[in-house]
Amino acid sequence: MPDQPAGHLTGMAYMAVGNLIFVLSDAGAKWLMADYPPVQVLFLRSLLTMLPVAVIVQRSGGFGSLATRRPFAHLVRAGFIVVAMFGTIEAYARIPLADAYAIQLTIPLAAAALSFPVLGERVTGRQWLIIAIGFAGGVVIVDPGMAGVELGALLAFGAALCFGVFRNLTRRLSRTETNAALMLTSTLTVVGFSGALAALDWVPIAGADLPLIAFVGISAGIAQYLFTQAFRLAPMAVVAPIDYVALIFAAVVGYAIWSDVPGVNVWIGSGVIALAGLALVRGVRR
Protein backbone atom coordinates (compact mmCIF):
# COMPACT_ATOMS: atom_id res chain seq x y z
CA MET A 1 0.00 0.00 0.00
CA PRO A 2 1.33 3.48 -0.86
CA ASP A 3 0.77 4.90 2.64
CA GLN A 4 2.39 1.97 4.45
CA PRO A 5 5.93 3.46 4.70
CA ALA A 6 4.49 6.67 6.16
CA GLY A 7 2.62 4.61 8.74
CA HIS A 8 5.82 2.79 9.59
CA LEU A 9 7.69 6.06 10.11
CA THR A 10 4.90 7.39 12.31
CA GLY A 11 4.95 4.19 14.36
CA MET A 12 8.72 4.47 14.80
CA ALA A 13 8.32 8.11 15.88
CA TYR A 14 5.67 7.14 18.44
CA MET A 15 8.00 4.45 19.80
CA ALA A 16 10.96 6.83 20.09
CA VAL A 17 8.94 9.59 21.78
CA GLY A 18 7.30 7.04 24.07
CA ASN A 19 10.72 5.78 25.16
CA LEU A 20 11.94 9.29 25.86
CA ILE A 21 8.86 10.09 27.97
CA PHE A 22 9.18 6.80 29.86
CA VAL A 23 12.86 7.46 30.64
CA LEU A 24 11.97 10.90 32.00
CA SER A 25 9.20 9.32 34.09
CA ASP A 26 11.64 6.72 35.45
CA ALA A 27 14.19 9.44 36.23
CA GLY A 28 11.53 11.35 38.15
CA ALA A 29 10.65 8.19 40.09
CA LYS A 30 14.32 7.60 40.93
CA TRP A 31 14.64 11.20 42.14
CA LEU A 32 11.59 10.80 44.41
CA MET A 33 13.05 7.62 45.94
CA ALA A 34 15.66 9.77 47.70
CA ASP A 35 12.85 10.94 50.04
CA TYR A 36 10.16 8.25 49.74
CA PRO A 37 10.16 4.43 49.92
CA PRO A 38 10.27 2.82 46.45
CA VAL A 39 6.94 1.06 47.00
CA GLN A 40 5.26 4.38 47.82
CA VAL A 41 6.65 5.92 44.63
CA LEU A 42 5.37 2.92 42.68
CA PHE A 43 1.91 3.33 44.22
CA LEU A 44 1.69 7.05 43.46
CA ARG A 45 2.94 6.52 39.94
CA SER A 46 0.49 3.69 39.21
CA LEU A 47 -2.40 5.58 40.77
CA LEU A 48 -1.85 8.59 38.53
CA THR A 49 -1.31 6.34 35.51
CA MET A 50 -4.97 5.42 35.97
CA LEU A 51 -5.93 8.83 34.52
CA PRO A 52 -4.69 8.15 30.95
CA VAL A 53 -5.90 4.54 31.28
CA ALA A 54 -9.40 5.79 32.18
CA VAL A 55 -9.40 7.92 29.02
CA ILE A 56 -8.41 4.88 26.95
CA VAL A 57 -11.20 2.81 28.54
CA GLN A 58 -13.73 5.56 27.80
CA ARG A 59 -12.59 5.86 24.17
CA SER A 60 -12.70 2.08 23.78
CA GLY A 61 -16.38 1.84 24.63
CA GLY A 62 -16.55 2.37 28.38
CA PHE A 63 -17.23 -0.41 30.87
CA GLY A 64 -18.57 -2.63 28.10
CA SER A 65 -15.03 -3.01 26.76
CA LEU A 66 -13.91 -4.57 30.06
CA ALA A 67 -16.12 -7.66 29.88
CA THR A 68 -14.16 -10.90 30.12
CA ARG A 69 -14.66 -14.62 30.56
CA ARG A 70 -11.05 -15.16 31.65
CA PRO A 71 -10.68 -13.42 35.02
CA PHE A 72 -8.15 -15.97 36.34
CA ALA A 73 -5.87 -15.47 33.32
CA HIS A 74 -6.03 -11.71 33.91
CA LEU A 75 -5.08 -12.27 37.56
CA VAL A 76 -2.06 -14.43 36.66
CA ARG A 77 -0.88 -11.89 34.09
CA ALA A 78 -1.34 -9.05 36.58
CA GLY A 79 0.67 -10.99 39.18
CA PHE A 80 3.70 -11.06 36.88
CA ILE A 81 3.51 -7.33 36.18
CA VAL A 82 3.32 -6.64 39.93
CA VAL A 83 6.53 -8.61 40.57
CA ALA A 84 8.19 -7.03 37.52
CA MET A 85 7.30 -3.49 38.63
CA PHE A 86 8.50 -4.10 42.18
CA GLY A 87 11.80 -5.47 40.90
CA THR A 88 12.23 -2.56 38.51
CA ILE A 89 11.51 0.18 41.02
CA GLU A 90 13.86 -1.40 43.60
CA ALA A 91 16.57 -1.70 40.93
CA TYR A 92 16.23 2.01 40.10
CA ALA A 93 16.78 2.81 43.77
CA ARG A 94 19.99 0.75 43.95
CA ILE A 95 21.86 1.11 40.64
CA PRO A 96 22.33 3.84 38.00
CA LEU A 97 19.39 4.37 35.64
CA ALA A 98 21.38 3.49 32.51
CA ASP A 99 22.61 0.23 34.08
CA ALA A 100 19.05 -0.81 34.90
CA TYR A 101 17.93 0.05 31.37
CA ALA A 102 20.82 -1.90 29.89
CA ILE A 103 19.77 -5.01 31.78
CA GLN A 104 16.16 -4.47 30.72
CA LEU A 105 17.26 -4.76 27.10
CA THR A 106 17.09 -8.51 27.74
CA ILE A 107 13.27 -8.34 28.02
CA PRO A 108 12.67 -9.17 24.30
CA LEU A 109 15.12 -12.07 24.59
CA ALA A 110 13.36 -13.32 27.71
CA ALA A 111 10.00 -13.02 25.94
CA ALA A 112 11.31 -15.03 22.99
CA ALA A 113 12.77 -17.75 25.24
CA LEU A 114 9.64 -17.98 27.37
CA SER A 115 7.29 -18.12 24.37
CA PHE A 116 8.01 -21.87 24.25
CA PRO A 117 6.80 -22.80 27.77
CA VAL A 118 4.12 -20.08 27.96
CA LEU A 119 2.64 -20.16 24.45
CA GLY A 120 3.97 -23.45 23.13
CA GLU A 121 5.61 -21.65 20.21
CA ARG A 122 8.54 -23.29 18.47
CA VAL A 123 11.95 -21.78 19.14
CA THR A 124 14.60 -22.89 16.65
CA GLY A 125 18.16 -23.86 17.51
CA ARG A 126 19.41 -20.68 15.85
CA GLN A 127 17.07 -18.59 17.99
CA TRP A 128 18.23 -20.33 21.19
CA LEU A 129 21.83 -19.55 20.24
CA ILE A 130 20.97 -15.88 19.66
CA ILE A 131 19.13 -15.73 22.99
CA ALA A 132 22.10 -17.30 24.80
CA ILE A 133 24.49 -14.76 23.23
CA GLY A 134 22.16 -11.93 24.25
CA PHE A 135 22.04 -13.10 27.86
CA ALA A 136 25.83 -13.40 27.81
CA GLY A 137 25.79 -9.67 27.08
CA GLY A 138 23.69 -9.25 30.21
CA VAL A 139 26.38 -11.04 32.23
CA VAL A 140 28.95 -8.61 30.84
CA ILE A 141 26.80 -5.70 32.06
CA VAL A 142 26.49 -7.15 35.56
CA ASP A 143 30.27 -7.78 35.58
CA PRO A 144 30.37 -10.39 38.36
CA GLY A 145 33.78 -10.01 39.97
CA MET A 146 35.31 -10.45 43.37
CA ALA A 147 32.69 -8.18 44.94
CA GLY A 148 29.83 -10.29 43.59
CA VAL A 149 26.72 -9.20 41.76
CA GLU A 150 24.81 -6.18 43.05
CA LEU A 151 21.32 -6.85 44.38
CA GLY A 152 19.95 -4.11 42.13
CA ALA A 153 21.26 -5.93 39.05
CA LEU A 154 19.69 -9.21 40.17
CA LEU A 155 16.37 -7.43 40.75
CA ALA A 156 16.57 -5.91 37.25
CA PHE A 157 17.22 -9.35 35.73
CA GLY A 158 14.35 -10.91 37.68
CA ALA A 159 12.08 -8.09 36.54
CA ALA A 160 13.13 -8.67 32.92
CA LEU A 161 12.14 -12.34 33.16
CA CYS A 162 8.76 -11.42 34.66
CA PHE A 163 8.22 -8.84 31.91
CA GLY A 164 8.99 -11.59 29.39
CA VAL A 165 6.24 -13.81 30.83
CA PHE A 166 3.93 -10.78 31.01
CA ARG A 167 4.43 -10.00 27.31
CA ASN A 168 3.63 -13.56 26.33
CA LEU A 169 0.51 -13.66 28.48
CA THR A 170 -0.54 -10.32 27.01
CA ARG A 171 -0.11 -11.76 23.53
CA ARG A 172 -2.23 -14.78 24.43
CA LEU A 173 -5.00 -12.74 26.07
CA SER A 174 -5.05 -10.11 23.30
CA ARG A 175 -6.68 -12.71 21.06
CA THR A 176 -9.91 -12.44 23.06
CA GLU A 177 -9.55 -9.38 25.34
CA THR A 178 -9.56 -5.65 24.62
CA ASN A 179 -6.56 -3.39 25.15
CA ALA A 180 -8.63 -1.41 27.66
CA ALA A 181 -9.28 -4.52 29.77
CA LEU A 182 -5.62 -5.57 29.64
CA MET A 183 -4.32 -2.14 30.66
CA LEU A 184 -6.90 -1.57 33.40
CA THR A 185 -6.54 -4.94 35.12
CA SER A 186 -2.74 -4.77 35.26
CA THR A 187 -2.69 -1.15 36.46
CA LEU A 188 -5.37 -1.74 39.10
CA THR A 189 -3.50 -4.75 40.44
CA VAL A 190 -0.25 -2.80 40.78
CA VAL A 191 -2.14 0.03 42.52
CA GLY A 192 -3.77 -2.38 44.97
CA PHE A 193 -0.63 -4.30 45.96
CA SER A 194 1.70 -1.31 46.10
CA GLY A 195 -0.89 0.73 48.01
CA ALA A 196 -1.28 -1.96 50.67
CA LEU A 197 2.48 -2.20 51.18
CA ALA A 198 3.06 1.56 51.02
CA ALA A 199 0.50 2.09 53.80
CA LEU A 200 2.76 0.13 56.19
CA ASP A 201 5.56 2.72 55.90
CA TRP A 202 3.89 5.83 54.49
CA VAL A 203 5.96 9.01 54.33
CA PRO A 204 3.94 12.29 54.27
CA ILE A 205 4.14 13.94 50.85
CA ALA A 206 5.69 17.39 50.64
CA GLY A 207 3.68 19.90 48.65
CA ALA A 208 6.73 20.83 46.59
CA ASP A 209 6.94 17.24 45.29
CA LEU A 210 3.36 17.09 43.99
CA PRO A 211 4.15 18.44 40.48
CA LEU A 212 6.92 15.87 40.00
CA ILE A 213 4.71 13.05 41.31
CA ALA A 214 1.96 14.09 38.89
CA PHE A 215 4.44 14.17 35.99
CA VAL A 216 5.88 10.72 36.86
CA GLY A 217 2.45 9.08 36.88
CA ILE A 218 0.70 10.81 34.00
CA SER A 219 3.71 10.68 31.67
CA ALA A 220 4.01 6.90 32.23
CA GLY A 221 0.41 6.47 31.10
CA ILE A 222 1.02 8.66 28.04
CA ALA A 223 4.11 6.62 27.13
CA GLN A 224 2.11 3.37 27.33
CA TYR A 225 -0.49 4.87 25.00
CA LEU A 226 2.23 5.88 22.51
CA PHE A 227 3.66 2.34 22.59
CA THR A 228 0.21 0.92 21.87
CA GLN A 229 -0.24 3.30 18.95
CA ALA A 230 3.22 2.43 17.60
CA PHE A 231 2.36 -1.28 17.43
CA ARG A 232 -0.95 -0.45 15.73
CA LEU A 233 0.72 1.62 13.01
CA ALA A 234 3.70 -0.60 12.20
CA PRO A 235 4.74 -4.26 12.52
CA MET A 236 6.68 -5.45 15.57
CA ALA A 237 9.78 -6.04 13.43
CA VAL A 238 9.77 -2.35 12.44
CA VAL A 239 9.20 -0.65 15.81
CA ALA A 240 10.81 -3.11 18.27
CA PRO A 241 14.42 -2.09 17.43
CA ILE A 242 13.55 1.51 18.41
CA ASP A 243 13.39 0.24 22.02
CA TYR A 244 17.18 0.35 22.13
CA VAL A 245 17.30 4.17 21.97
CA ALA A 246 15.96 4.11 25.55
CA LEU A 247 19.45 3.22 26.79
CA ILE A 248 20.90 6.32 25.13
CA PHE A 249 18.14 8.48 26.64
CA ALA A 250 18.76 6.91 30.07
CA ALA A 251 22.51 7.47 29.82
CA VAL A 252 22.04 11.15 28.91
CA VAL A 253 19.44 11.76 31.62
CA GLY A 254 21.45 9.84 34.24
CA TYR A 255 24.55 11.90 33.49
CA ALA A 256 22.64 15.19 33.47
CA ILE A 257 20.97 14.57 36.85
CA TRP A 258 23.32 12.28 38.84
CA SER A 259 26.57 12.52 36.82
CA ASP A 260 26.40 8.74 36.27
CA VAL A 261 28.68 7.47 33.51
CA PRO A 262 27.98 3.91 32.32
CA GLY A 263 31.08 1.71 32.37
CA VAL A 264 32.64 0.23 29.27
CA ASN A 265 31.18 -3.17 30.23
CA VAL A 266 27.66 -1.67 30.14
CA TRP A 267 28.10 -0.42 26.58
CA ILE A 268 29.74 -3.65 25.37
CA GLY A 269 27.08 -5.82 26.99
CA SER A 270 24.30 -3.58 25.67
CA GLY A 271 25.74 -3.81 22.18
CA VAL A 272 25.76 -7.61 22.34
CA ILE A 273 22.14 -7.66 23.59
CA ALA A 274 21.03 -5.17 20.92
CA LEU A 275 22.66 -7.18 18.13
CA ALA A 276 21.04 -10.37 19.43
CA GLY A 277 17.66 -8.65 19.60
CA LEU A 278 18.00 -7.30 16.07
CA ALA A 279 19.00 -10.77 14.85
CA LEU A 280 15.82 -12.19 16.38
CA VAL A 281 13.72 -9.46 14.77
CA ARG A 282 15.34 -10.11 11.39
CA GLY A 283 14.51 -13.80 11.73
CA VAL A 284 10.88 -12.97 12.50
CA ARG A 285 10.72 -10.63 9.50
CA ARG A 286 12.00 -13.42 7.22
Q: Model confidence over 6-55: pLDDT tens digits?
A: 677 888 899 899 999 999 999 999 999 999 999 999 999 999 988 887 88
Name which of 22, 43, 53, 25 is nearest 205 in CA terms.
Answer: 43
Give the residue-averaged pLDDT of 214-235. Answer: 84
- As a whole number of angstroms, the distance between CA 260 and CA 101 comes to 13
Model confidence at 59: pLDDT above 80: no
- Mean of the per-residue pLDDT values for the chain? 86
Please report the pLDDT score of residue 177 as a whole number. 81
Nearest to 122 by CA among 130, 131, 113: 113
Q: List, for residues 122-165, the tens digit of each pLDDT value.
A: 888 888 999 999 999 988 888 765 455 688 999 999 999 999 89
- Residue 67 pLDDT > 80, yes or no? no
Helix, strand, or coil (residue 13)? helix
Report d(CA 197, CA 86) in Å as an integer: 11
Please count the other Cβ atoms lying within 10 Å of the Cβ belonging to residue 51: 13
pTM for this one?
A: 0.85
When pLDDT is averaged across residues 50-77 and rounded to a whole number, the result is 79
Between 97-104 and 125-142, two packed helices, what is the crossing angle to 10 degrees? 170
Number of helices (H) and strands (E) in the chain: give both, helices first. 12, 0
At 103 the pLDDT is: 92
With beta carbons less than 8 A apart as the criterion, state whether 134 and 276 touch: yes
